Amino acid sequence: MNQRLVIFTVMFFIVLGACSSCFAQSRYRILPEQSFMNASLTYAMFPRIEARFKEFSGTVYFHPDQIEKASVLIKVKTKSVDTGKSVWDKIIRSSRLLDAKNYPDMVLRSDKIIQTKEGYIVIGSLDLHGARHQVKFPFYVEGPFDDRQGQYIKAFGQWEFNRKDYGVIWHDLLDKGGVVVGDIVTLDWELSARLDK
């Protein structure tokens, strides 16, 4: 084989391998202390009950040039819900709603991430209260940024789901039409995630 052809072939595969590594997905670990996940729903005479989840973790695989291979996994501890009112916290954690004892985790898994003009759309599944249903919602990413500790990104968005789809029924007879407890739960979130070294 011609020596120049051999050299060209070798260089081609070196460059190809380098490009593949350039577009490899970067793994970012969610930083709970720099993130928040808030939930809200209507309850009786109150406009809305606002709560936050204090314990959650997860990972984000992300590269802006290869978004079709990006993914996200978020695990939320249902017992960590905090409304600032102990009475409401007990009700939400109890078997009347989240049943945190038997269903300790709420898990979001992405199946696909699509890029749009404004940001991204996640298509995936939400596991809650022993049920799993598809979810689809927009989100936005800022970064990556660099600081003294390395590289990080920020992501934020909102999604809604119907609690009854997951069997979260607070009363068999009175829970009709979402009059006392609203059917739709809204989750607002902002996540900071640091690149794994």
Rounded Cα–Cα distance for residues 53 and 37 (Å): 6
Taken as a whole, the chain contains a residue count of 197
Would you state the pLDDT for residue 65? Answer: 81
Give me the residues of the chain with pLDDT under 50, please.
5-23, 178-179
- Exposure b/e, 121-152, CB count within 10 A at least 16 = b: ebebebbbbeeeeebebebebebbeeeeeebb
Q: Is residue 12 part of a domain?
A: no
Number of domains in the chain: 1
Q: What is the CATH number of the domain that holds 111?
A: 2.40.128.110
Residues pairing with 42 in the sheet: none
Q: Is residue 122 part of a domain?
A: yes
Would you state the pLDDT for residue 50? Answer: 92
Would you state the pLDDT for residue 3? Answer: 59
Q: How many CA within 13 A on the CB side of residue 78? A: 23
Q: Is residue 10 part of a domain?
A: no
Rounded Cα–Cα distance for residues 74 and 30 (Å): 8
Would you state the pLDDT for residue 18? Answer: 42
Overall pTM surpassing 0.75 (yes/no):
yes
116 CB neighbour count, 10 Å cutoff? 9
Rounded Cα–Cα distance for residues 95 and 103 (Å): 10
Taking only the tens place, the pLDDT of each residue in 163-176 is: 999 988 866 555 55
Q: Is residue 16 part of a domain?
A: no
- For 139, the domain range is 25-195
Q: Is residue 69 part of a domain?
A: yes
Q: Is residue 20 part of a domain?
A: no
Q: Is residue 187 part of a domain?
A: yes
Would you state the pLDDT for residue 42? Answer: 75
